[in-house]
Amino acid sequence: MILKKDNISNKPVQKEKPKKVDYFSLDGFNAVVAGADIGVGPEISRILAEAGASVALVGESKTRINDLAETLAQQYHVDVLPVVQNVLDDQGLKAAVDEVCRQFIGYEILVNNMGFAVPNRIQEMPRSTFLYHYDQNMSRRLEVTLSFAERGMFGYEMTRIIHVVSQLGAKEGTAFPACAFYMANDNFRPAAKALAVEWAEENVTVNNLCLGIFNLDGDDEDDLFRETIRWKTPMFCHGNVENLATALLFLASPHSSFVTGIDLPIDGGFHIN
């Protein structure tokens, strides 16, 4: 505390401290997590709820979505909306967007965590299967962003769209053969950047959160897949919850309005090795 003397009364006068700003607070904001039941989706949902956001959990697994919604509501005392739909399907996506729009009067944050990797070799799979996997990870994932954004994300002072993409796509063949996933994953990044350019005038930022391998459950598995990635990571470790949280909240923050169109790698240096 800094004290100075009042020249008139000769009494100490308390100088007010500057008000602290929580740059990562999401109090009062609505967020949608597409793919809340897969991969890092549950942890992303928890991070947003812990930061104070109301969260719509969108996913195909009824058990996972409902259990996660109950847990987040009890732990963080925020509004949580479970939406059980397969948004990679046209009807499921429309139903999910309709449900979120009925419950939320707009939403400022969208995290698109859709997509999947199936181990396969292109020469060993039917062409139709390859094209299906590519379409699901590219066109259908992009349609999720377009549908949610166009219905409820324009007209705000700040809107954040965050795409979760895998760093493995930048290193084809380093973990397991999944050519359709790698191709779609890498082609999705410039598509997201194109949206950043087009939607900038609407105060919408669009960024890619590019993840390496994370250990989020405390069980650092020593399987061949994880070990392969670990050996190709300069920091020779996997990411943890804190690494994911700080990066996610940086992109989601209302104070990050000048950050758009970037690939933010959270991978321990995997992308440069």
The model's pLDDT over 51-65, given as tens digits with 9 standing for 90+, comes to 999 999 999 999 999
Indicate if the pLDDT at residue 170 is higher than 80.
no
pLDDT of the residue at 161 = 97
pLDDT band, residue 220 (cuts 50/70/90): low
Q: What percent of the chain has pLDDT over 90?
A: 56
Q: Which amino acid is at 229?
A: I
- The pLDDT score that the predictor gives to residue 258 is 95
Identify the band that residue 5 occupies on the pLDDT scale cut at 50, 70 and 90. very low
Domain boundaries, the chain: 25-272
At residue 97, the pLDDT reads 97
CA 83 vs. chain centroid, Å, equals 17
State pLDDT tens for residues 159-168. Answer: 999 999 988 7
- Please name the helix (run of DSSP H) or strand (run of DSSP E) that holds residue 128, with its range, or none: helix 127-137
DSSP state of 17: P
228 phi, psi to nearest 5 deg: -60, -45
Among 86, 72, 184, which Cα is nearest to 139's? 184
Q: What pLDDT digit, counting tens, does each position of 190-200 carry?
A: 988 999 999 99
Specify the pLDDT at position 19. Answer: 75
pLDDT-derived band of residue 92, with 50, 70 and 90 as boundaries?
very high
Class of the 25-272 domain? alpha beta
How confident is residue 234, by pLDDT bands cut at 50, 70 and 90? confident
Q: Return d(Cα 67, Cα 163) in angstroms, integer.
A: 24
How does the average pLDDT of the chain come out, rounded?
A: 87
Grouping H, G, I as helix, E, B as strand and the rest as coil, residue 265 is strand
pLDDT at position 259 over 80: yes
